[in-house]
């Protein structure tokens, strides 16, 4: 029985747990004939439910914590053109709560061929990386190799928007104070250095560098200079070589 039929058949709303289950059932039943306003109303109901509290706890959030298949379902809906944007809104509402910030399975959706859906997925991905500093730091610390191996593919994407946004997000979440150790580790790794020249340029050439960036650059100065000097000359890419030389000069001035 769908959410709408349940609500119509009762004088009072269902319990939060029942309504969450009904919402999932309703989304499973959605198709191209479903009116856009119905989907919009459903998203609005979801936002209200997430804010419902029982004493000091968010009862619906707790329910979803114990039924993470709901989040998997919402993420998977990015493959459904009819409800992708609606589910994206629902996901971003979930991400407002640290316990529901789930990083798994998301990389494949930011490069979907549909521009609107890929852009929406990028916005959701940004929220995942920037909403909860401590949660992100802990995740990166325990999934470092897995995460950055996948992230490097975004930085090398054939899609210009994906590459640009991925670089922007990277500079934002690496600069968060809890990620200082992650940043130090990342900027000195040879396997990422070739594709990170532009990011290093942002770090080094910025006259208003945060103190944590200055300290990280000073601490890793020797390693950075060694790695930069050992990078092979880029064939046919004079601009990249010029940027590399600029970074070297700026790092040397930090002494």
Q: What percent of the chain has pLDDT over 70?
A: 76
Rounded to the nearest integer, the mean pLDDT of the chain is 77
Tell whether the model's pLDDT for residue 115 goes beyond 60. yes
pLDDT band at residue 93 under the 50/70/90 scheme = very high
pLDDT band at residue 10 under the 50/70/90 scheme = very low
The residue range of the domain holding 88 is 1-102
Q: Is residue 16 part of a domain?
A: yes
Phi/psi for 58 (5° steps) reads -85, 105
Tell whether the model's pLDDT for residue 112 goes beyond 70. yes
Question: pTM value?
Answer: 0.70
CA-CA distance, 5 to 26, in Å (whole number)? 10
Q: Stretch 14-23: mean pLDDT, rounded?
A: 63
Tell whether the model's pLDDT for residue 3 goes beyond 70. no
Q: Is residue 57 part of a domain?
A: yes
Length of the chain: 255
Nearest Cα to 128, choosing from 153, 101, 155, 147? 101
Q: Is residue 213 part of a domain?
A: no
> Cβ distance 81 to 121 under 8 Å?
no
Query: 200 CB contacts (<8 Å, ≥6 apart)?
Result: 187, 193, 224, 247
Q: Is residue 17 part of a domain?
A: yes
> Per-residue pLDDT tens for 191-243?
666 666 777 776 777 777 777 777 777 877 887 788 777 766 656 666 767 87
pLDDT band at residue 7 under the 50/70/90 scheme = very low
pLDDT band at residue 6 under the 50/70/90 scheme = very low
- The region that residue 105 occupies, defined by phi over 0 for left and psi between -120 and 50 for alpha, beta otherwise, is left
Identify the residue with better confidence: 97 or 67.
97
Q: Is residue 184 part of a domain?
A: no
Q: Is residue 179 part of a domain?
A: no
Q: Stretch 165-171: mean pLDDT, rounded?
A: 82
Give the pLDDT confidence score for residue 193 in this predicted structure: 61
Please name every residue paired with 57 in a beta bridge, in sequence order, or none if there are none: 54
Please name every residue paired with 54 in a beta bridge, in sequence order, or none if there are none: 57
Please give the C-alpha separations between residue 161 and each of 27, 93, 110, 121, 154, in angstroms, as whole numbers.
30, 24, 10, 12, 10
Give the pLDDT confidence score for residue 96 in this predicted structure: 92
DSSP letter at 40 equals: H
Nearest Cα to 47, choosing from 99, 94, 5? 94
pLDDT band at residue 11 under the 50/70/90 scheme = very low
**How many Cα atoms occupy the beta-carbon half-sphere of 228 within 13 Å?**
25
SS3 156: coil
Residue 197: alpha-carbon gap to chain centroid: 22
SS3 125: helix
Domain count, the chain: 1
pLDDT band at residue 92 under the 50/70/90 scheme = very high
CA-CA distance, 148 to 180, in Å (whole number)? 15
Q: Is residue 254 part of a domain?
A: no
Give the pLDDT confidence score for residue 12 in this predicted structure: 41
Give the ranges where the chain is alpha helix by DSSP (H).
3-8, 16-29, 36-50, 59-65, 69-76, 84-95, 115-130, 133-142, 144-155, 160-174, 180-187, 190-193, 197-205, 211-219, 221-230, 238-253
Q: Is residue 115 part of a domain?
A: no
Q: Which of 63-72, 136-145, 179-188 has the highest mean pLDDT?
A: 136-145
> Per-residue pLDDT tens for 27-45?
665 555 567 777 888 788 7
DSSP letter at 34 equals: S
């Amino acid at each position: 029985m769908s959410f709408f039929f349940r609500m119509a058949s009762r004088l009072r709303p269902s319990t939060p747990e029942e309504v969450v289950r009904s919402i999932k059932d309703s989304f499973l039943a959605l198709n191209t004939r479903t009116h856009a306003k119905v989907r919009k109303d459903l998203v609005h109901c979801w936002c209200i439910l997430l804010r419902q509290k029982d004493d000091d706890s968010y009862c619906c959030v707790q329910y979803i914590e114990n039924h993470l298949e709901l989040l998997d379902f919402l993420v998977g809906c990015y493959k459904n053109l009819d409800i992708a944007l609606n589910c994206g809104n629902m996901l971003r509402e979930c991400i407002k709560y640290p316990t529901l910030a789930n990083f798994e399975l998301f990389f494949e959706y930011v490069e979907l061929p549909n521009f609107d859906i890929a852009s929406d997925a990028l916005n959701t991905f940004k929220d995942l990386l920037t909403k909860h500093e401590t949660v992100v730091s802990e995740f990166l610390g325990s999934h470092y190799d897995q995460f950055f191996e996948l992230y490097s593919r975004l930085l090398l994407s054939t899609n210009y928007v994906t590459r640009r946004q991925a670089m922007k997000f990277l500079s934002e979440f690496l600069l968060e104070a809890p990620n200082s150790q992650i940043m130090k580790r990342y900027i000195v790794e040879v396997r990422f250095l070739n594709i990170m020249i532009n990011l290093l340029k942002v770090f080094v050439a910025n006259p208003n560098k945060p103190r944590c960036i200055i300290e990280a650059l000073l601490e890793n100065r020797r390693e950075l200079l060694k790695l930069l000097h050992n990078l092979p000359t880029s064939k046919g890419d004079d601009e990249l070589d010029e940027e590399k030389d600029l970074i070297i000069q700026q790092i040397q001035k930090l002494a």
